[in-house]
């Protein structure tokens, strides 16, 4: 959502005939016609009902990453509760009405308020955890909350002046709701998860406007999972990616296994098979409005005061919580409704490995006469996990100190770009596990996210030297050695299924299948998946995902040779079509070169 083009959309139901032409003016004429024709049979096409709007403060950055992790884990642990219907936020006003033709003026009112408040927000924004029998939230300290309420009051005044819209600022205690309306026996688990949120982490607070269709405010929101063509006149056509609004009142006369609902995309109503849809969040169908055509500004907590002042003066954002309240970018819309955040697969190669830097006999350089590990170079790690145990370092080399640094740099870059990672999978090779761990350290998520060790992500076994597979450290032993790994994870492809010298076709098929299974397992529980594996994985895990056939083995090897340590790529799903496409990664590339061993005696004492 951070850098999308500004789009102001009218109501997603009533008034579409007029609103599509006036508020979609930034889109091409063809897109407008598509929007109109999709609603040609919509009985509410000329309904004059306005949409409902609300002003939120929405977090981003490190705190948002932790809140997203809480959202995900609380759903997995306790199931969905009422808080999951809307993303994490602080409510600044009550829902209010605004006519379609006043939307741009309303957004200008918010922009004007932001300009007036530039530099006046407290830093940081203090939050305190509160729990009760059926509610858990993070409350804003009272004096600071009064300042935020004044900001909302000023926006309300601007909304009246510019858009003739009445806005009622929120009068209750300001807070981020974490969970509510949940079974009492879920309280201990939810409270434990909530206590793991580090409320003092840096955060960019975004002042954003959202709108919803008032006709469906009290309906259940369903996501269409499978296509369905009507067999009778009273049935509704289903298109994957669309949403259906379902009123509990309308279900009394429906047959078992069928529900009655209204399509967001077309506005038509009818019966539909219940097993073709799944429960979605209310906010999935809200429209995200932008009040400025300028891109988002996110100020990193590591920025200096002069850096912040320069950015603030250039872009006119409001300092808050050690970061900023900035213009939020609009969520692009397709077919007349808001588009869901795209699912993204990140694939990353491991960091610099010991046996490449110090040679295949590197073990002899760091072992004393009693077989103990001794560091003989600054680029060797101070210690190695389970040294002296049943380890196979000859076959499973660790990464160097610089390899760890490379990985942390990538994690820090992901953090700075506000990229949330929901799941991390890695090859069982120690170098991959260590790299994943250090990426999470850079992301400040090493105590929150657990790495899932998946043997199916190991490289082409033809490249394994010897007649057997490496003796990888089991996840339980890795956890005992303080690695953040998920010991409950059950591999998609167990170690026993891997054989030495597999064919190229088998490797490509294995990589494609395990990647598809990973994405399938993570669907609907997280948008961003990170795979940390091998140089070959960037090609093997993404090529067939894009619908492209594997290259020849010879061409494949040439591609792999060009992928450096911490080589990183991004692959996005195009809607709910199952089609994926490589896109620009959210971080810059990491360039580094070889550095041979330096002996000052041999170099500086030569005659």
Given pLDDT bands bounded at 50, 70 and 90, which one contains residue 71? Answer: confident
**Residue 35 clears pLDDT 80, i.e. is over it:** no
CB atoms within 10 A of CB 479: 16
The arithmetic mean of pLDDT across residues 327-345, rounded, is 47
- Cα(279)–Cα(80) distance, integer angstroms: 10
- The three-point CA angle 201-207-209 to 5° equals 135
Q: Do 407 and 555 belong to one domain?
A: yes
Q: How far is CA 193 from the centre of its chain?
A: 19
Confidence (pLDDT) at 169:
93
**Residue 164 clears pLDDT 90, i.e. is over it:** yes
Q: Where do the DSSP E strands lie in 385-464? A: 423-426, 451-453
For 172, phi then psi, to 5°, come to: -80, 175
Domain assignment present for 564: yes
The arithmetic mean of pLDDT across residues 97-120, rounded, is 87
**Regarding predicted confidence, which is higher, 368 or 18?**
368
Confidence (pLDDT) at 398:
94
Q: What is the pTM of this model?
A: 0.49
Indicate the range of 29-33, 112-116, 320-324, 558-562 predicted with least confidence: 320-324
Given pLDDT bands bounded at 50, 70 and 90, which one contains residue 157? Answer: very high
* Residue 122's CATH number: 3.90.1140
Domain assignment present for 159: yes
- Cα(375)–Cα(431) distance, integer angstroms: 18
Last residue of a domain, one of 162, 192, 213: 213
Q: Are 265 and 336 in contact (CB under 8 A)?
A: yes
Q: How far is CA 171 from the centre of its chain?
A: 32
Given pLDDT bands bounded at 50, 70 and 90, which one contains residue 293? Answer: very low
Annotated binding site for substrate: 431
**Residue 265 clears pLDDT 80, i.e. is over it:** yes
Confidence (pLDDT) at 528:
92
Confidence (pLDDT) at 529:
96
Confidence (pLDDT) at 12:
34
**Residue 402 clears pLDDT 50, i.e. is over it:** yes
Percent of the chain with pLDDT over 70: 79
Confidence (pLDDT) at 175:
94
The arithmetic mean of pLDDT across residues 33-53, rounded, is 55
Indicate the range of 312-321, 447-456, 534-543 predicted with least confidence: 312-321
Given pLDDT bands bounded at 50, 70 and 90, which one contains residue 216? Answer: confident
Domain assignment present for 543: yes
Q: Extract the tokens encoding 538.
A: 């960037």
The residues annotated with a catalytic role in the active site are 349-350, 534
Domain total in the chain: 2
Confidence (pLDDT) at 341:
61
Q: Are 603 and 588 in contact (CB under 8 A)?
A: no
- Is the sign of the CA dihedral 354, 358, 360, 361 positive or negative? negative
Q: Do 208 and 348 belong to one domain?
A: no
Confidence (pLDDT) at 536:
95
Long-range contacts of residues 193-196, Cβ cutoff 8 Å, at least 24 apart: 193/70, 193/73, 193/74, 193/77, 194/70, 194/129, 194/131, 194/136, 195/129, 196/66, 196/70, 196/447, 196/448
Domain assignment present for 441: yes
Given pLDDT bands bounded at 50, 70 and 90, which one contains residue 253? Answer: low
Given pLDDT bands bounded at 50, 70 and 90, which one contains residue 353? Answer: very high
Confidence (pLDDT) at 364:
85
Select from 346, 415, 399 the least CA-distant residue to 567: 346
- Averaged pLDDT score across all residues of the chain: 80
The β-bridge relationship of strands 451-453 and 337-338 is: unpaired
- Cα(63)–Cα(320) distance, integer angstroms: 13
Domain assignment present for 316: no
Given pLDDT bands bounded at 50, 70 and 90, which one contains residue 606? Answer: low
Domain assignment present for 108: yes
**Cα–Cα distances in angstroms (integers) from residue 388 to residues 345, 368, 376, 401, 408, in the given order:** 37, 12, 17, 20, 27
- Cα(49)–Cα(40) distance, integer angstroms: 18
CA atoms within 13 A on the CB side of 415: 24
- Cα(257)–Cα(273) distance, integer angstroms: 6
Given pLDDT bands bounded at 50, 70 and 90, which one contains residue 114? Answer: confident
Domain interval for residue 349: 344-354+399-583
Domain assignment present for 600: no
**Regarding predicted confidence, which is higher, 227 or 304?**
227
Domain assignment present for 199: yes
Longest dimension (CA), the chain: 99
Last residue of a domain, one of 213, 240, 274: 213
The arithmetic mean of pLDDT across residues 25-42, rounded, is 42
Given pLDDT bands bounded at 50, 70 and 90, which one contains residue 459? Answer: very high
* Residue 532's CATH number: 3.40.50.1240
Last residue of a domain, one of 154, 182, 213: 213
Name the residue with tokens 């990229």. Answer: 419
């Amino acid at each position: 959502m951070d850098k999308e083009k500004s789009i102001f959309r009218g109501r997603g139901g009533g008034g579409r005939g007029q609103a599509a032409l006036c508020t979609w003016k930034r889109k091409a004429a063809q897109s407008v016609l598509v929007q109109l024709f999709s609603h040609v049979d919509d009985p509410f096409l000329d309904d004059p009902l306005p949409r409902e709007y609300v002003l939120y403060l929405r977090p981003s950055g490190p705190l948002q990453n932790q809140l997203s992790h809480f959202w995900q884990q609380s759903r997995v642990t306790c199931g969905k509760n009422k808080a999951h219907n809307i993303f994490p936020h602080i409510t600044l006003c009550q829902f209010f009405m605004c006519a379609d033709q006043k939307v741009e003026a309303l957004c200008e009112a918010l922009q004007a308020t932001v300009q007036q408040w530039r530099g006046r927000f407290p830093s940081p924004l203090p939050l305190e955890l509160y729990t009760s029998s059926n509610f858990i939230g993070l409350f804003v300290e009272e004096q600071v909350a009064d300042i935020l309420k004044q900001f909302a009051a000023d926006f309300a005044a601007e909304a009246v002046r510019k858009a003739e819209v009445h806005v009622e600022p929120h009068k209750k205690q300001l807070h981020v709701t974490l969970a509510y309306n949940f079974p009492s026996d879920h309280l201990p688990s939810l409270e434990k998860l909530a206590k793991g949120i580090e409320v003092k982490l840096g955060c960019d607070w975004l002042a954003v406007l959202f709108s919803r269709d008032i006709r469906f405010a009290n309906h259940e929101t369903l996501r269409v999972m499978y296509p369905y063509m009507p067999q009778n006149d009273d049935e509704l056509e289903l298109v994957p990616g669309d949403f259906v609004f379902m009123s509990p009142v309308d279900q009394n006369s429906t047959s078992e296994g069928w529900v009655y609902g209204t399509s967001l995309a077309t506005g038509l109503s009818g019966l539909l098979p219940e097993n073709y849809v799944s429960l979605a969040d209310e906010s999935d169908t809200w429209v995200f409005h932008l009040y400025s055509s300028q891109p988002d500004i996110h100020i990193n907590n590591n920025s200096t005061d002069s850096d912040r002042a320069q950015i603030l003066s250039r872009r006119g954002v409001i300092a808050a919580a050690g970061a900023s309240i900035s213009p939020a970018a609009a969520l692009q819309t397709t077919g007349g409704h808001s588009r869901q955040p795209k699912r993204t697969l990140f694939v990353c190669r491991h960091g610099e490995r010991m046996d490449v830097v110090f040679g295949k006999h590197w073990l002899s350089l760091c072992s004393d006469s009693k077989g103990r590990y001794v560091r003989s170079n600054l680029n060797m790690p101070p210690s190695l996990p389970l040294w002296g145990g049943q380890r196979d370092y000859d076959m499973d080399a660790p990464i160097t100190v610089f390899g760890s640094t490379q990985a942390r740099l990538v994690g820090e870059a992901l953090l700075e770009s506000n990229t949330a990672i929901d799941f991390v999978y890695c090859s069982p090779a120690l170098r991959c596990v260590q790299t994943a761990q250090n990426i999470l350290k850079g992301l400040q998520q090493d105590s929150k996210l657990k790495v899932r060790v998946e043997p199916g992500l190991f490289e082409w076994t033809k490249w394994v030297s010897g007649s057997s597979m490496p003796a990888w450290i089991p996840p339980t032993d890795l956890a005992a050695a303080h690695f953040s790994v998920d010991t409950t994870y059950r591999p998609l492809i167990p170690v026993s299924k891997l054989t030495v010298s597999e064919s190229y076709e088998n490797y490509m098929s294995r990589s494609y299948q395990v990647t598809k299974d990973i994405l399938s397992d993570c669907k609907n529980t997280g948008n961003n998946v990170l795979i940390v594996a091998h140089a070959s994985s960037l090609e093997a895990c993404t090529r067939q995902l894009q619908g492209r056939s594997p290259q020849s083995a010879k061409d494949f090897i040439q591609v792999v040779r060009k992928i450096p340590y911490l080589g990183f790529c991004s692959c996005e799903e195009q809607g709910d079509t199952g089609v994926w496409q490589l896109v620009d990664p959210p971080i810059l590339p990491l360039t580094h070169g070889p550095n041979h061993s330096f002996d000052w005696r041999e170099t500086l004492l030569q005659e």
